[in-house]
Chain A
């Protein structure tokens, strides 16, 4: 993305340039209201940008039409507040595959494999409404990766979960990024989580990317003082 901005009553996001590399896991950190979720929504084309342009594999993203939908289908967003459809676990996971017109056999194969990966094979026919928070989040991530998107966007995927489920989900994310070469952009409040699983960290403050770079560099030798304060937990916001 280049010279990208988003304005409501005032400017909430302004990005000079952001380039995402295939197969990397990006951890987006920053204080509340910094513009992290807005960034994900703009990338996923759910919120239109006010200015600037987004390029996908070097080509500008169209504002609407079938080409835009085709591009949107290369990515998936898991929201901070998990919303599973009032249906079975199986039907939730297969939603994106059905939306893409996949064949029944392919759907069965992929959903069975994913259920196995998230350790929920026996809950395939359970109603999503009856799942625990951790189970629901695992289903939400499985649903997002079922159609093997090139870009997976995660907004606080482990917020309000217990340590066991956090570990499980982090494992899921890293494994999927590694085996399927999915690029992951994960917004997190938890700087330790970003350090644990991200290859690159993007620090956003007051709507601007203050600093981005390899995870270890951001944590050990940040160039910006506010980045250092934030990763050391000294930033008051």
Chain B
């Protein structure tokens, strides 16, 4: 119990003193996860919207694939990206393994199905009604589709935030493709694993607290967004 208490106190000291090691790890984590979610959003939202606007029976196979990938274990995602980027893999020549880029790729692989799937579900929930209303008011196909996306913005934002909270907290994939190299590919989750194993509970707890705070912030935003979306 005292170890936990001492660990917590030291963790607060590290956070409040802006410890450079801690700061490096936190900033790298955020940079990787934010980059990954931006990439996932850029192609995931239009693809999800496209699937959501199509009749459900025409996209059944896609739905099954996307829902399967949504629940993919991060270590499996890490393994797949590892094999693709390793020296003998199809993209081995790019020498991306054990770089932040590889970690971004792994996180894009993990977050995209979530962004696509939840966007699709959100749009499908009311998309038909919205599209018909828009068309009945004289909107062409493009405007009607844009109206559906705009009206489903709360669901889409929810999809993006859910994708982000999944990748910022995952450890398996980034550990495999990033290698947990200090100052280069060490992020919050991999650092927590390492520091716990080394017995450096202060840093591990400090990082854990920051991760929890990020998770709290992200979920608060998601909750607020969903409340806003459910008002009508």
A residues whose Cβ falls under 8 Å from a Cβ of B? 44, 46, 69, 72-73, 76-79, 81, 83-86, 95-96, 99-100, 128-130, 143-144, 147
Please state if A96 and B137 are interface contacts (CB–CB under 8 Å): yes
Partner of A129, one of B133, B137, B231: B231
Nearest-neighbor residue (CB-CB) of B139 within chain A: A99
B135 is an interface residue with CB less than 8 A from chain A: yes
Asked if A83 meets B129 with Cβ closer than 8 Å, knowing A99-B143, A129-B231, A129-B232, the reply is yes
Please state if B132 and A46 are interface contacts (CB–CB under 8 Å): yes
Q: Which residues of A contact B17 (CB under 8 A)?
A: none
Q: Which residues of A contact B232 (CB under 8 A)?
A: 84, 86, 128-129
Please state if A99 and B140 are interface contacts (CB–CB under 8 Å): yes
B183 is an interface residue with CB less than 8 A from chain A: no
> A77 to B136, alpha carbons, bound, how many Å?
5
How close is A107's CB to chain B, nearest CB, in angstroms?
Answer: 14
Please state if B136 and A79 are interface contacts (CB–CB under 8 Å): yes
Q: Which residues of A contact B140 (CB under 8 A)?
A: 69, 99
Q: Which residues of B contact A129 (CB under 8 A)?
A: 231-232
Please state if A99 and B136 are interface contacts (CB–CB under 8 Å): no
Q: Which residues of B contact A86 (CB under 8 A)?
A: 151, 153, 232
> A6 to B81, alpha carbons, bound, how many Å?
52
Q: Which residues of A contact B143 (CB under 8 A)?
A: 99
B130 is an interface residue with CB less than 8 A from chain A: yes
> A86 to B153, alpha carbons, bound, how many Å?
10
| Interface class of chain A by DSSP | mixed
> A100 to B140, alpha carbons, bound, how many Å?
9
B147 is an interface residue with CB less than 8 A from chain A: yes
A-B contact pairs, 22 of them (CB 8 A): A44-B136, A46-B132, A72-B135, A76-B138, A79-B129, A79-B132, A83-B129, A83-B133, A84-B232, A85-B130, A85-B147, A85-B150, A85-B151, A86-B232, A95-B134, A95-B137, A95-B139, A99-B137, A99-B138, A128-B232, A143-B137, A144-B136
Q: Which residues of A contact B130 (CB under 8 A)?
A: 83, 85
Please state if A46 and B151 are interface contacts (CB–CB under 8 Å): no
Name 20 extra pairs, CB < 8 A, besides A69-B140, A85-B150, A96-B137.
Answer: A46-B132, A46-B136, A72-B135, A72-B138, A77-B136, A78-B136, A79-B133, A83-B129, A83-B133, A85-B133, A86-B232, A95-B134, A95-B137, A95-B139, A96-B138, A99-B137, A99-B139, A128-B232, A143-B137, A147-B138
> A144 to B15, alpha carbons, bound, how many Å?
58
Nearest 5 CB-CB pairings of A with B: A129-B232, A77-B136, A96-B137, A73-B138, A99-B138
How close is A53's CB to chain B, nearest CB, in angstroms?
Answer: 21
Q: Which residues of A contact B136 (CB under 8 A)?
A: 44, 46, 76-79, 144
Q: Which residues of B contact A130 (CB under 8 A)?
A: 231
Residue of A73, A81, A85, A143 most packed against chain B (CB within 10 A): A85
How close is B171's CB to chain A, nearest CB, in angstroms?
Answer: 38
> A99 to B147, alpha carbons, bound, how many Å?
11
Interface positions of B from 110 to 166, Cβ below 8 Å from A = 129-130, 132-140, 143, 147, 150-151, 153
How close is A32's CB to chain B, nearest CB, in angstroms?
Answer: 20
How close is B122's CB to chain A, nearest CB, in angstroms?
Answer: 13
> A78 to B147, alpha carbons, bound, how many Å?
17
> A143 to B150, alpha carbons, bound, how many Å?
18
> A144 to B153, alpha carbons, bound, how many Å?
24
Q: Which residues of B contact A95 (CB under 8 A)?
A: 134, 137, 139
Q: Which residues of A contact B133 (CB under 8 A)?
A: 79, 83, 85
> A130 to B228, alpha carbons, bound, how many Å?
12
Q: Interface readout for B36-54 with A: 1 if CB under 8 Å, 0 if not?
A: 0000000000000000000
Q: Which residues of B contact A44 (CB under 8 A)?
A: 136
How close is A102's CB to chain B, nearest CB, in angstroms?
Answer: 11
> A224 to B65, alpha carbons, bound, how many Å?
57
Q: Which residues of A contact B139 (CB under 8 A)?
A: 95, 99
Interface positions of B from 168 to 218, Cβ below 8 Å from A = none
Q: Which residues of A contact B138 (CB under 8 A)?
A: 69, 72-73, 76, 96, 99-100, 147
How close is B112's CB to chain A, nearest CB, in angstroms?
Answer: 26
Q: Which residues of B contact A100 (CB under 8 A)?
A: 138
> A144 to B139, alpha carbons, bound, how many Å?
12
> A44 to B139, alpha carbons, bound, how many Å?
13
Nearest-neighbor residue (CB-CB) of A153 within chain B: B136
